[in-house]
Structure 1
Amino acid sequence: MFVLLNIQCKKSAIDKPVYGTQSNATFYKTDAQIQQALTGVYLQLRTTWNEYAKYHYFVGDVSTDDAWKGGSSDGDYGEAQDMTNFILTPTNGLVAQRWSILYKLIARANEVITYAPDATGDKTLINRYINEAKVLRAFGYYALVTTEGGVPLFTKPVTPSEATSTPRASAADVFKQIETDLTEASKGLPSYPEYGDADKNRVSRGTALAILGKAYMFQQNYVKAEETLGTLVKSGDYSLLNDYGANWRDNFNSESIFVIDSRMQDKDIAIGSNIPHFFTTRNTPGYQGYGFHAPTQDLRNEFDADDPRITYTFTMTGDRYLQDNDDQDNTGSPDGYYDRKIEVPQYLRLGYNPWIISYNVRLIRYSDIILLYAEALNENNKGSEALPYLNMIRKRARQTPPKDPQRQKQAYIPATTAASLPDVTTTDQTALRKAIWHERRCELGMEGWRREDLVRQKRFGEVMRAFSVKYNTNKGKFFRDDRDYLFPIPQNEIDYSNRTITQNPNF
């Protein structure tokens, strides 16, 4: 189905133009070759043992009040511990590896976007491939600009000398390119329902609109955010599942907007996801994961006691999955919890490599978009219009079965009643804003979006310093508002550019 594209071995992550088994002069000539190259773009997000999703969760949750780093000790993946304690340095490997993944993604997308227009074959299909690559490129730049600020901006393949002599663009210019890519792609891609079953893992019109809406929200452009998110919400392309927990049992469903497809099609081929192993309990026979990304008690306290979403966000000591002989042992977790959303019960792994698991990473779900839309409406003084969307999420939550069908024993079962999670009624902008923020934390807990929410809401430092005081921990204690809303630019990128690339303030 695809050729594996090799990355030229150069020093800088930016300085890695994509080369195939053939040269650019002989490849990219047919629609089949463009499809192969596009597959290489998608694969950049799921490199075994270095998946983008690992960084998505570490950056999005572990740097916040939602999750501890976990592991066997503070020194186990110490670079993540530095991130969670806000003592990052420009030589931090986690930051550098994430930067490298994203720029390789951008480089591969640039190859498709640049060479595909001249390819022969089905022009409709070729145009779709170009627009898919634009969405993936925009996602790469979005992940960078929201954590690094302005970064070098490339929209075509570059030579090594161009790569190492290009300074950082402004954050505004990076967002402008993101908006251009996603606007064009949203007009040229099929909707999610229009894809056949074999293509459900591809980015769609909805993916483009979702990321575009997030980009406007991050910039606090609530007028454009309302317009973009409203288009998606009212399109009919997506709908909420009746059961919140089914999101993590069904590979692709009506809430799937952006999914990294890591299903294993062949039990003898090790192409799956390592993420469940990274985030699984260390102590339970048959699981013995690395124990990272452990939910905090603070996140658990955000939920009402009768909220069924507790079931699908947390595992506890005493839980036992179907067909298991042992209870889950979470004594290795700082607060006794691990992430249920990422856990794959052992009976679903039988016959597979135990280290590489068939699991789809859900990056963007429809409920995320509904809540962003409600938030945009409220910020535009349309609280009465925002309420139905907020309450749509709460209604689905309270109607979700509190018992996990994949567990034979469940240490905590929320005692739901008809009065659970009542509708929010306030239209006061401040009160409704807090209600929406609360709902996002409960609905999207452990899905990697907490940091972004706190950053765009301009309260990251306030929340993290309060967390440090409340729990007497270094986590958040050293947060500086003049530094820690951004990550450092990797020092090796600065060095290889002969300091053409500059560092973020106070690193």
Structure 2
Amino acid sequence: MKKKLLMLTALAVGVQLLGSCKKELDVNSQERVTLDNYYKTPADAFAGLVAVYDRFGFQAGGLYDKSAIMDVAGDDQLAGGGGPTDINDLQVTEKFTLNAATGPQSYLWNKGYSGIYRANQLLDKIGTIPMDASLKNRYIAECKALRASFYFDLVWFFKNVPIISGTVAPSELYNVTQSPPADVYALVEKDLNEAIAVLPATVPAATEGGRFTKGAAQALLGKVLLYEKKWQAAADQFAAVNGPTPGAVNPTYGYKLLTNYSDLWKVSNRFNTESVLELVHGTTSNGGWGDAGATEGNLLSITTGPRGYSQLAPSAPDYFSGYSFLVFTKAYFDFIHYDPRNAATVANLDSMKAAGVANYAPGYNNTGFFLGKFIGRVSTKAAVGQTELNFGQDQYEIRLADTYLMEAEALMNAGAPLGAGSRAYNLFNAVRARVNLGAVAVTQDNIEKERRLELGGEGQRFPDLVRWGKAASVLAYKGFVAGRNEIFPIPQSELNNTKLKQSKEWGGSL
């Protein structure tokens, strides 16, 4: 790994570490703040925690995030944009022409390991900070939950990744080796279990919305266990999140499905009762095009908007003109067309254009079907800063309908009862009842269909196909190669002059 991963770079912390350039060496050392003398106060500890959260929602400077990568890797969306090389990392992911040197894997790798480093740094230093013991324990628990989320993504994306314990001396950076995936999963489980024991059941949304809670950590642990095919253990974690009565409010955590599906995508509806773990975005960032990924706005809001959009009639949505990425395929539109979730999910620009209520300029691989869940609106654009980079719509990392469906799937695979009145049946059909659909049997085929309808455009389709063993057949037309494209290649930049090895799936030895 790179030396840069040993540097605490969060803007929230606002410190500069000692460097080697002449200009920095000329600075009065009394004006410098190093890691050794930084973590001294509760305020320092909180700033360090904010720095870890900064990596949790980090977006690439190339105008994409984890969700966008997963969207284009699936069968329901195309990269789109302005041409065949526009945001090339998404284009090569869609066509499965990525390789160790080209693609989004450096972003995924660096996002994970910079977050792990920041978490490890705070965990290493916080013990000596004089502060309230319960608050200190909460910060430690949040760090462990965040570190677990980073490791889970890394082991799922790359399979063969290093476990970095504590902080690593610069002289040892290039001697780091990868750990067996089972060891990484074990660490993820351990971190989450330890965090669950300490985290608060709820937090005040106005001041602490977006921070890990006990329910969020249990939902993440349930997902980890589901991916490991530990069915009953996964179901047990989801049961705590979903509550005793599917469709009713969870009396412990307050989670409940929203009545109206479309309300999930209202910018003002952040930290709602269906939100279990949320990526927070803001409208007051001073970030600019020099480093778009460092802004706090939701980049999906500008990248998914139709190019050259104009509202010709008051009945048309007040979309902010964007870059036409992540367009839905005609096949997905046909699949969801008569489902009640269609209108909230797919923005049918060709229909609006034909009706004369709106107009737009077709982009690359245009289908006319846009990701309506995240398109920025004129009515919600930021009042300050770079408008395109400052849309404040949050994203769901995990939401309750997802955990309902995952628990039903886990119960099915664990051999639990599935008939009418069973918990699996009630969970599964509560998701359908929310959009006024009738009950159907809990089967693998129905679960696959329901997740595709419920979670369209939310970065879940590709991981689902991979874990179900369906990716090779469903994605063959896009160039997916079985036994290779289930994971991403280790970035070439991480292999150079290190002991890291490329995975066998990508021609390596590990």
For 1:15, the equivalent position in structure 2 comes to: none
Check the 8 A contact 1:251/1:360 in 2, yes or no. yes
For 2:347, the equivalent position in structure 1 comes to: 315
Q: How does 1:318-397 map to 2 (within 5 A)?
A: 327-329=358-360, 331-332=362-363, 334-349=366-381, 351-352=383-384, 353-356=386-389, 357-382=391-416, 383-384=418-419, 385=422, 386-397=424-435
Check the 8 A contact 1:219/1:456 in 2, yes or no. no
Q: Deviations over 1:207-234 (max 9, x none)?
A: 2111111111111111211111112212
For 1:105, the equivalent position in structure 2 comes to: 115
Matched, 1:450 2:461: yes
Matched, 1:206 2:215: yes
* TM-aligned CA distance change 1:50 to 1:128, over 3 Å: farther
Matched, 1:282 2:307: yes
Whole-Å Cα distance in 1 between the matches of residues 54 and 282 of structure 2? 13
Among candidates 230, 247, 251, match of residue 270 of structure 2? 251
Q: Deviations over 1:404-442 (max 9, x none)?
A: xxxxxxxxxxxxxxxxx2111x35xxxx11111111111
- Pairwise CA distance, 1:72: 1.4
* TM-aligned CA distance change 1:265 to 1:50, over 3 Å: same
Whole-Å Cα distance in 2 between the matches of residues 251 and 344 of structure 1? 15
Q: CA RMSD in A?
A: 2.6
Task: State, as a whole percentage, how many aligned pairs show the same letter.
Answer: 27
For 2:315, the equivalent position in structure 1 comes to: none
For 2:27, the equivalent position in structure 1 comes to: none
Among candidates 240, 246, 258, match of residue 241 of structure 1? 258
Whole-Å Cα distance in 1 between the matches of residues 193 and 242 of structure 2? 16
Whole-Å Cα distance in 2 between the matches of residues 9 and 318 of structure 1? 54
**The residue matched to 2:431 in structure 1 has which SS?**
helix
For 1:410, the equivalent position in structure 2 comes to: none
Matched, 1:300 2:333: yes
Q: Deviations over 1:281-331 (max 9, x none)?
A: 1121473322111112222233261x221011111126779xxx9725263
- Pairwise CA distance, 1:195: 3.3
For 1:483, the equivalent position in structure 2 comes to: 484
Matched, 1:422 2:438: yes
TM-score by structure 2 length?
0.83
Q: How does 1:402-413 map to 2 (within 5 A)?
A: none
- Pairwise CA distance, 1:47: 4.8
Check the 8 A contact 1:317/1:331 in 2, yes or no. no
**The residue matched to 2:79 in structure 1 has which SS?**
strand
Check the 8 A contact 2:222/2:237 in 1, yes or no. yes
Check the 8 A contact 1:27/1:33 in 2, yes or no. yes
Counterpart amino acid of 1:488? P
* TM-aligned CA distance change 1:55 to 1:196, over 3 Å: closer
Whole-Å Cα distance in 1 between the matches of residues 191 and 361 of structure 2? 44
Check the 8 A contact 1:164/1:496 in 2, yes or no. yes
Check the 8 A contact 2:15/2:33 in 1, yes or no. no
Among candidates 124, 132, 135, match of residue 125 of structure 1? 135
Query: Gaps (5+ residues) in structure 2?
Result: 1-10, 21-30, 244-249, 289-294, 311-318
For 1:215, the equivalent position in structure 2 comes to: 224
- 282-291 vs 482-491, which moves further: 282-291
Query: Gaps (5+ residues) in structure 1?
Result: 11-19, 399-420, 469-474
For 2:502, the equivalent position in structure 1 comes to: 502
Q: How does 1:64-83 map to 2 (within 5 A)?
A: 64-83=74-93
* TM-aligned CA distance change 1:49 to 1:142, over 3 Å: closer
Whole-Å Cα distance in 1 between the matches of residues 120 and 33 of structure 2? 17
TM-score by structure 1 length?
0.84
Check the 8 A contact 2:302/2:323 in 1, yes or no. yes
Check the 8 A contact 2:17/2:32 in 1, yes or no. no
- Pairwise CA distance, 1:487: 0.7
Whole-Å Cα distance in 1 between the matches of residues 112 and 297 of structure 2? 20
**The residue matched to 2:175 in structure 1 has which SS?**
coil
Check the 8 A contact 2:17/2:35 in 1, yes or no. no
- Pairwise CA distance, 1:181: 0.6
Among candidates 446, 450, 453, match of residue 439 of structure 1? 450
Matched, 1:36 2:47: yes
